[in-house]
């Protein structure tokens, strides 16, 4: 290969595996050997000595994909970087790799929008971007006529599914994303499995779409508008236009600092704002070159985020000096993908384990998020897990917690039958600690209107000492919480209730706590195959078969029926359908304390 290609490839690898090339067992990839003669790991050349394939799967690559350098190899047809830890956006430069037929990027940590330029790769046959964090809408992939496989499951993509030539496609999967609207005609080639896990998607092979409301047709009676009415109407239109122009003018002026950037600046500012681009990636160096000024990355971030450093480290001394770059480059493992984003376990050097919650909700303003996180941080409570750091930009919000090794309440209750015994005394202690902590947080954050917003047994974690801790306090439903502060009558739908009931933010937490009490008492799942725990408990109690609701393990342990019934009464008050009459968390906490006291004195006095 030519020297220019060799140099570009060496640079590509340096970005992909910064400082780690040899440690990853990758041979070659240096200027002293040729990619096609020197046996570079993962490089396949043709007889003419041009690089045709680069296959670096499971190679522990943690850097970024420098498409600009990669695509200097004009003849590249296959790029496979499956199963690594590559972060960052996929740059528009990927379109320079014109010959590319196979693009495999699955099982990495790519994020951000897919580049629009992907649709210019007209030779593409197979694309696999599954199991990443790509979001935004798909580019115009219907332009790629020879596409036979498109796999994008387990991302956070949205918008409508493009009308591809499904009869040509051999593989297609977009499950577990946020796509919406009707599915185009797949001509019977694909089953529901290709589309599941997109709550707003409808049509064959999923369930039918709701009927489109009929257009409102004016009745025959309607008369022609009089010229007077027309005059009034046009007056309103002109007034409306003036208001719109004024608002646009104001917005334009307010955004002026961003407008100063040239050409791709807006686009790159977004890229910069994204955490994965804060290290010196192609995008950032390009930006500097393109802008033709001396703006440092830090100052650009400051423009974007209002003088707040990229990673705001809040509490833990373990994290002193941790940079955003280190956090992104550390090896990570996906722990879960919830409704609100993905959660990763990140292993830092020195054995510190963190979890990073990548929240997918661009609707929350950055300022609001920052203020909220700082306010929550000021309230210290032993049984509430504090965030140790956060990152916040227009595009992305990350929250960092210390990793808790002892699982969560959900697992303890519903894990395998052989899992630890969870006796009545321990359940009562968990109920007491959580109620007390929640009551405290509600009191402290009442004026700010910050409730938990997403309380569930999976968010009750056990720390090293097996004490229960509430995780993710105040992170979710932020917009709704704010609305409820502005208008106390505004009620939100509680995540746990999932029944169309509306609850104010704090009442929502009380309800959710009631459901946790029911889980502790019954050992049953909140919802499974149409089973709804609160309704079931209510109906059994109404029939006066109360004892039937309790977990068999508690009955056979000989737990006091009287105190279980008392705790059940508390739970029923919490899940009462009339939210205005429901108790506050402080009241709930007091009730549980008195049950606990009775329990303790019975242990002391019972023979
Ligand atoms: N700090 C932590 N340490 C260890 N495990 C954690 C920590 N935080 C969360 N987990 C666990 O990771 C898993 C995934 O958590 P995550 O919050 O993404 O799920 P979720 O609550 O269902 O998501 P969502 O709230 O977005 O619907 C859960 O089992 C949770 O208990």
Q: From the alpha carbon of 341, which atom of ligand 1 is closest?
A: 26
Position 217 scores a pLDDT of 43
Position 541 scores a pLDDT of 77
Position 12 scores a pLDDT of 92
Closest C-alpha among 489, 413, 481 to residue 452: 481
274 lines ligand 1 (CB under 6 A): no
Whole-Å CA distances, 483 to 98, 150, 306, 433, 468: 49, 41, 24, 29, 30
What's the gap in Å between 343 CA and the centre of ligand 1?
A: 6
- C-alpha span between 274 and 258 (Å, rounded): 16
Q: From the alpha carbon of 385, which atom of ligand 1 is closest?
A: 1
Q: 372, 445 in Cβ contact below 8 A?
A: no
336 lines ligand 1 (CB under 6 A): yes
334 lines ligand 1 (CB under 6 A): no
Ligand 1 test: best mutation among 316, 343, 344, 407, most atoms within 8 Å of CB? 343
- What residues have CB less than 8 Å from 217, skipping those under 6 apart? none
- C-alpha span between 506 and 253 (Å, rounded): 39
Q: From the alpha carbon of 476, which atom of ligand 1 is closest?
A: 25
- What residues have CB less than 8 Å from 41, skipping those under 6 apart? 25, 26, 27, 28, 29, 56, 59
What's the gap in Å between 372 CA and the centre of ligand 1?
A: 20
Ligand 1 test: best mutation among 333, 336, 345, 476, most atoms within 8 Å of CB? 336
Count the neighbouring beta carbons within 10 Å of the beta carbon of residue 226. Answer: 9
H-helix or E-strand spanning residue 231:
helix 227-254
What's the gap in Å between 530 CA and the centre of ligand 1?
A: 24
Query: Is 357 among the annotated ligand-binding positions?
Result: yes
458 lines ligand 1 (CB under 6 A): yes
What's the gap in Å between 406 CA and the centre of ligand 1?
A: 12
- DSSP conformation class of 199: T
Whole-Å CA distances, 50 to 12, 81, 103, 275: 16, 19, 18, 35
Segments of the chain scoring below 70 in pLDDT: 1, 20-24, 212-310, 315-318, 320, 339, 360-364, 394-395, 416-420, 477-504, 527-531, 544-545, 577-580, 604-607
Q: From the alpha carbon of 359, which atom of ligand 1 is closest?
A: 26
Sign of CA dihedral 392, 397, 399, 400: negative
- Write out the DSSP string of 529-571: TTEEHHHHHHHHHHTT-GGGGS-HHHHHHT--HHHHHHHHHHH
What's the gap in Å between 377 CA and the centre of ligand 1?
A: 19
């Amino acid at each position: 290969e030519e020297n220019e290609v060799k140099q570009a490839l060496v640079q590509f690898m340096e970005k992909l595996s910064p400082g780690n090339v040899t440690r990853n067992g990758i041979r070659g990839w240096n200027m002293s050997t040729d990619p096609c003669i020197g046996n570079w790991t993962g490089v396949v050349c043709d007889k003419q000595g041009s690089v045709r394939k680069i296959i670096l799967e499971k190679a522990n690559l943690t850097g970024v994909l420098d498409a600009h350098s990669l695509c200097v190899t004009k003849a590249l047809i296959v790029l496979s970087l499956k199963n690594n830890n590559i972060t960052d956006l996929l740059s528009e430069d990927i379109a320079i790799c014109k010959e590319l037929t196979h693009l495999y990027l699955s099982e990495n940590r790519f994020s951000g929008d897919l580049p629009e330029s992907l649709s210019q790769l007209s030779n593409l046959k197979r694309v696999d971007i599954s199991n990443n964090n790509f979001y935004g809408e798909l580019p115009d992939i219907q332009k790629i006529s020879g596409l036979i496989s498109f796999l994008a499951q387990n991302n956070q993509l949205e918008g409508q599914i493009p009308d591809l030539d499904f009869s040509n496609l051999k593989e297609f999967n977009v499950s577990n994303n946020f796509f919406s609207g009707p599915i185009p005609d797949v001509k019977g080639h694909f089953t529901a499995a290709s589309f599941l896990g997109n709550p707003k998607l409808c049509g064959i092979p999923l369930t039918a779409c709701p009927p489109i409301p009929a257009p409102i047709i004016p009745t025959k009676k309607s008369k022609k508008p009089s010229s007077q009415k027309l005059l009034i109407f046009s007056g309103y239109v002109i007034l409306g236009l003036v208001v719109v122009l004024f608002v646009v003018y104001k917005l334009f002026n307010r955004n002026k600092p961003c407008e100063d950037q040239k050409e791709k600046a807006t686009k790159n500012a977004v890229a910069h704002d994204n955490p994965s681009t804060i290290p010196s990636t192609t995008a950032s160096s390009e930006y500097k070159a393109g802008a033709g000024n001396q703006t440092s990355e830090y100052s650009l971030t400051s423009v974007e985020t209002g003088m707040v450093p990229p990673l705001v480290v809040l509490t833990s001394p373990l994290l002193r000096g941790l940079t955003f770059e280190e956090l992104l480059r550390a090896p990570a493992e996906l722990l879960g993908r919830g409704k609100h984003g993905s959660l990763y376990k990140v292993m830092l050097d020195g054995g510190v384990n963190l979890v990073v919650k990548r929240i997918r909700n661009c609707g929350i303003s950055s300022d609001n998020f920052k203020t909220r996180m700082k306010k929550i941080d000021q309230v210290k409570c032993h049984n509430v897990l504090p965030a140790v750091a956060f990152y916040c930009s227009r595009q992305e919000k990350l929250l960092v917690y210390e990793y808790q090794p002892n699982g969560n309440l959900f697992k303890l209750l519903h894990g395998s039958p052989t899992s630890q015994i969870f006796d009545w005394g321990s359940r009562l202690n968990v109920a007491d600690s959580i109620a007390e902590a929640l009551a405290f947080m509600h009191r402290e954050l009442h004026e700010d209107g910050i409730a938990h917003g997403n309380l569930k047994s999976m968010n009750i974690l056990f720390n090293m000492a097996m004490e229960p801790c509430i995780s993710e306090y105040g992170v979710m439903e932020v917009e709704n919480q704010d609305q409820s502060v502005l208008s106390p009558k505004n009620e939100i739908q509680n995540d746990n209730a999932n029944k169309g009931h509306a609850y104010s933010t704090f009442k929502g937490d009380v309800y959710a706590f009631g459901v946790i009490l029911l889980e502790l008492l019954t050992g049953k799942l909140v919802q499974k195959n149409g089973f709804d725990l609160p309704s079931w408990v209510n109906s059994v109690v109404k029939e006066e078969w109360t004892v039937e609701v309790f977990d068999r393990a508690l009955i056979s342990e000989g737990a006091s029926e009287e105190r279980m019934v008392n705790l059940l009464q508390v739970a029923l008050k919490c899940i009462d359908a009339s939210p205005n009459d429901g108790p506050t968390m402080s009241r709930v906490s007091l009730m549980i304390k008195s049950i606990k006291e009775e329990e303790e004195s019975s242990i002391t006095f019972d023979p």
